[in-house]
Each structure stands twice: as structure tokens, then as C-alpha cells.
């Protein structure tokens, strides 16, 4: 990859620990650029999850927390209630948000917490070694679904954006992808809106980002992006699920 941009102020110079071709890094960058552009770096408090992005607190150059697995939205709630004027975001994987932390995310949305959630859906548990995630696709293999996910046994993958969009407390819910430059540009727009919605105190905002895990999918970085496009997007359609009227217009 050629570096034509400067590092956003909201990223530290630390070298990330992500595997080659992992899209966590791109998503970090998008979030950091948006924080820079909105000029809120010094007002922002981020919460890292438990997952591959557990060390995100070393990468975002803002005040950061490290939460227990799945509990980031509850931690964010605590912070936001103490500092309603600050910008609070959680950065969570699919295991973190859609399995162990399902209750926390649903109730943060139900309360209309004025926080922004970046939900990185890679359809797998990256950090712990490729176990099935709640978002793992039917037929997709995982170390705990060695014969592929079978709906008779493990049920169906969860579409969190669609679920959260039904909640009155949720103001902005969008699903984006980062598998090519066009989609990355759209993803950034969505992330920016999700922070603006928070700044305007409209309610809970979340961007679900379809992300790749070449390591645990057992694919090269390029093949992984292709797999994402061909397999994830049909099940997890991209687009804005819910937005305030003026954002839609």
C-alpha cells in the first residue's frame, strides 16, 4: 500500500499488531480522520473491546478505556452520563457486540444513549483463533463449527443493524464495507454521520463495517476481500437502515 496521506492526529504513531491485510487498520483510520475533521479529538473518549482490537487504546490518540468483553456500551453509558458534552464511541467486534454483549448494545440503543458505535463485523472470532461468531454465515467453517455452520445446530447469523434499526432510541444505523476504495469512501461518510448524530444529540448511532479476517478465514488478503463481497454482502446488505429526516434528505 502507498502512503499518500498523513497520519491523522487522532491516531498514535504506534505500529498496529493486526495481521497483514486485516481491515481493522483501515477502519481505525476512518474513525480517526472523522474525529480530526470534526475537530473533537480533545473531546473524545473511546472504548476498546475485547477482540483483535483490544489494543485500540494504543492506536487512537484520544482518551480511551479498555472494557470487559461485550460491556463497552455499558461503559460508554457511564461515561456519557457523567460527560454529556463529550463525544463517546465504542469500537466492537461481532463476538463482542452480537454475542456476549447483546444485552448491553440493545439496551444502550433502547435508552437512546447518545454514543457512537463502530461495529466491526468479520463473521468470526479473530483474536481467540477463528471460532464461530454470531455473524458467521451458514456453511462457513470455524474452529468450533468444523463442518460449517448448520442452522439446525447453531442457528442463523444475526443481522444486528436490522435489529437495532427497529429501536426508537436508535437515530442512525448504517451498514458499510471496506472491500474497495469506493466503499471505503462511503464508509467514511457513514462514520462521520454517526458522530454528527451524536453531536446533535439525536440518539444512538451505529455503523456496522463488514471487515475481513484473512488469517482465520484462511485466505490471502485479496481473496478475503473478494470473499467478503461475494458472501457477506448478499446476507448483510449495505446501506442506511435508519437515519434522522434531515440526514436522509
128 binds another protein (CB under 8 A): yes
94 binds Mg ion (CB under 5 A): yes
The beta strand positions in 97-231, using DSSP E, are 116-121, 170-177, 204-210
Residue of minimal Cβ distance to ligand TPP: 93
Using the rule CB under 8 A, give the single segment among 7-15, 73-81, 144-152, 237-245 that binds another protein.
144-152
Site for ligand TPP in 110-169 (CB under 6 A): 120, 122, 124-128, 133
Q: Which of 127, 125, 160, 128 is nearest to 141 (CA)?
A: 125
Residue with cell 446533535: 200
Using the rule CB under 6 A, give the single segment among 48-56, 73-81, 172-180, 181-189 that binds ligand TPP.
48-56
Residue 176 near residue 207, CB atoms below 8 Å? yes
Q: Facing residues of 87 across strands?
A: 44
Distance of CA 120 to the CA centre of its chain: 3
Residue 120 near residue 211, CB atoms below 8 Å? yes
x/- track of binding to another protein for residues 148-187 (CB under 8 A): -----xx---------------------------------
**Can you tell me the distance from the alpha carbon of 75 to that of 117, in angstroms, rounded to the nearest whole number?**
12
Which residues contact ligand SF4 by CB under 6 A?
18-19, 22, 24, 52, 122, 126-127, 213-216
Which residues contact another protein by CB under 8 A?
17, 19, 50, 54, 66, 68-70, 95, 99-102, 125, 127-129, 131-132, 134, 143-147, 153-154, 215
Amino acid at each position: 500500500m502507498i502512503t499518500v496521506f498523513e497520519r491523522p492526529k487522532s491516531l498514535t504513531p504506534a505500529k498496529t499488531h493486526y495481521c497483514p491485510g486485516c481491515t481493522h487498520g483501515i477502519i481505525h483510520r476512518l474513525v480517526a480522520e472523522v474525529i480530526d475533521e470534526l475537530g473533537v479529538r480533545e473531546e473524545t473518549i473511546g472504548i476498546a473491546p475485547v477482540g483483535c482490537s483490544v489494543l485500540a487504546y494504543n492506536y487512537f490518540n484520544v482518551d480511551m478505556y479498555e472494557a470487559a468483553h461485550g460491556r463497552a456500551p455499558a461503559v460508554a453509558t457511564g461515561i456519557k452520563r457523567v460527560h454529556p458534552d463529550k463525544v463517546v464511541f465504542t469500537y466492537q467486534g461481532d463476538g463482542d457486540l452480537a454475542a456476549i454483549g447483546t444485552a448491553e448494545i440493545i439496551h444502550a440503543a433502547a435508552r437512546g444513549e447518545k454514543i457512537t458505535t463502530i461495529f466491526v463485523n468479520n463473521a468470526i472470532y479473530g483474536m481467540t483463533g477463528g471460532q464461530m461468531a454470531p455473524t458467521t454465515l451458514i456453511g462457513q467453517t470455524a474452529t468450533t463449527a468444523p463442518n460449517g455452520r448448520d442452522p439446525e445446530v447453531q442457528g442463523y447469523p444475526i443481522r444486528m443493524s436490522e435489529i437495532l434499526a427497529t429501536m426508537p432510541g436508535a437515530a442512525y444505523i448504517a451498514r458499510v464495507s471496506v472491500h474497495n476504495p469506493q466503499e471505503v469512501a462511503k464508509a467514511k461518510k457513514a462514520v462521520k454521520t454517526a458522530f454528527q448524530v451524536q453531536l446533535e444529540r439525536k440518539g444512538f448511532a451505529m455503523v456496522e463495517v463488514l471487515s475481513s479476517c484473512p488469517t482465520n478465514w484462511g485466505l490471502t488478503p485479496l481473496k478475503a476481500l473478494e470473499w467478503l463481497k461475494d458472501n457477506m454482502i448478499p446476507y448483510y446488505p449495505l446501506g442506511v437502515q435508519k437515519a434522522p429526516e434531515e440526514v436522509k434528505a
